[in-house]
Amino acid sequence: MRTERAVPGLLRAAVLGLFAVFFVLPVVWLVLAATKTDDQLVHDSPLSFGSWSALRANWDALTGYQSGAILRWLGNSAVYSFAALVITLAVAIPAGYALALTEFRGRRALLIATLVVMLMPNATLVVPLFLEVNAVHLIGSMWSIILPYACYPFGVYLAYIYFGAALPRDLLDAAKLDGCSEFAAFRHIALPLAAPVVALVGFFSFVANWTNYFLPYVLLPGSDQVPVQVGLGTLLDNVPQFNPTAGAAAVQRPEVALATLLAITPVLVVFLFSQRFLVAGLLSGATKD
């Protein structure tokens, strides 16, 4: 009897552990790789720590690349992601509120359009967006990135679900009876209660925009304005081991590892700080009633 129980338990632990290794090992390797010289990367054990001085040297070499290109790219990513985030929140939360709690002409059509666009992967529209932005001569403008990012139907849907399920209507009715305008009711009653969904929409929008590659790759061709995701591709072109024609601007592999680490740090920080809350938010999204 006891062995019968113990074996599935062990098996379960083994499977869960194996996948933990699968998910985490590359991340651990990445952190360690940034502390090595290229020679150490090849010859030392893959999971050994290099040295602080090598990390320092990699940092200097990386920030020296095209006089601080990596910092420029990170800055660009930050500007695009945060600007889009602010617009998304300003636009999606009221829209979700109106869709959930009011009736107006076109409400149903807007709801369906939201669901359809939300289910379409955003890469679908990249080439069409290029054609559109090109037609109005805005290629290379940062708004050609920020505004498409800011259009975030999934955020509207989340807000719609949240207001529909979690906002007590009596509260709004009472406010209206007391002479509150629609805006005042939203501003003073709905919005303060919406903090969890504001944060959830904000997190998803930030991660989606920070990690987007295809849109800026197409809309910001070969300029100083590219975000870090596209910048990583540029670095890759200058790694001799991956591209033998890499010229004088050659980049070593540990520097690329460090650049990748820098590129993911903002998302990791945001995620680690909001982890507990995110799971709760996702769960509240999962419970329908």
Partner 1 sequence: MTTVGSRPRPSRAAPAFVAGYVTLLVAFGIVPTAYAIYFAFTDNEGAFAGLANFAVAAADFRFLPAIGHVALYLVCWLAALVVLVVALALLLHRLGASGAGRTLRLLYYLPGALAGAAGVMVWLFVLDPVVSPVGFLLRALGYETFGQVIAPGNLPVLFAAIAFWTGAGGWIVVLYGALNTISTEVLEAARIDGAGAWQTAWRTQIPLLRKWIVYMVILAFAGGTQLFVEPQLLSQASVGVAGRDYSPNQLSYDFAFQNDNVNTAAAISVELLVVGLVVAAVFVVRSGFFDAD
The interface with partner 1 within residues 14-53 (CB under 8 A) comprises 15-16, 19-20, 22-30, 33, 41-42, 46-47
Are the C-beta atoms of 50 and 36 separated by less than 8 Å?
yes
Residues 185-224, mask of contacts with partner 1 (x by CB under 8 A): -x--------------------x---xxxx--xx--x---
* Cβ proximity to partner 1, 135 vs 177, nearer residue: 135
CB atoms within 10 A of CB 63: 17
Assess contact for 62 and 253: CB atoms under 8 A. no
- Size of residue set near partner 1 by CB under 8 A: 110
**Quick check: 85 binds partner 1 (CB under 8 A)?**
no
Residues numbered 220-279 forming contacts with partner 1, rule: CB under 8 A: 221, 229-230, 232-233, 236-237, 239, 241-244, 253, 256-257, 260, 263-264, 267-268, 271, 275, 279
Dist. CA 96–CA 103, nearest whole Å: 12
Nearest distance from residue 183's CB to partner 1, in Å? 6
Choose the stretch contacting partner 1; rule: CB under 8 A; options: 53-61, 63-71, 116-124, 195-203: 116-124
Query: Which ranges in 120-221 belong to alpha helices (H)?
Result: 126-135, 143-150, 153-166, 169-177, 182-185, 191-193, 195-210, 214-219
Nearest to 35 by CA among 16, 17, 49, 47: 49
Q: How far is the CB of 4 from partner 1 (least distance, A)?
A: 10
